[in-house]
Amino acid sequence: MTKYLIEETIAPQGFQGISQKPEDHSEVLRPLFEAVGCKLEQFYISGIENKAYLIVESPDLNSVYTLGATFMAGGAASSIKYIPLITWPEAVDLAKKAASLGYRPPGK
């Protein structure tokens, strides 16, 4: 499973819902994530930036997109970024693989 950082710009309707019914929304969202085979690991909000940041474990990108489409259609988010995350050991493996390709940049 891959981890993703989801960066969501909270729509005005999202803030309106938070102010009308304050609650730990991570508990509301958790079953939605589980329904598409994902796991919501962390959920943060930055009121200053008008953003929500979620760390999600997902079997594939389509499952994450499904959740994003749900949030957008429901009016909670006005934009969403999906950022795949890798561990340091994975980054080292990628660097080794890239170094073995023998790529030569143009002009060199």
- pLDDT tens track, the chain, 108 positions: 899 999 998 887 776 777 787 777 788 889 999 999 999 999 998 878 889 999 999 999 999 999 888 888 888 888 899 999 999 999 999 999 998 988 888 887
Global confidence as pTM: 0.79
Residues in the chain: 108
CATH top-level class of 2-99: alpha beta
Edge-first strand listing for the sheet containing 51-58: 39-46, 51-58, 2-10, 77-85
Q: What is the pLDDT of residue 15?
A: 67
| pLDDT tens, residue by residue, 16-37 | 777 787 777 788 889 999 999 9
Q: Can you read off the two tokens belonging to residue 41?
A: 């690991």
Q: Where are the domains of the chain?
A: 2-99
Distance set, CA 32 to CA 8, 68, 99, 104, 106 (Å): 16, 11, 41, 46, 47
Distance CA 79, CA 34 (A): 22
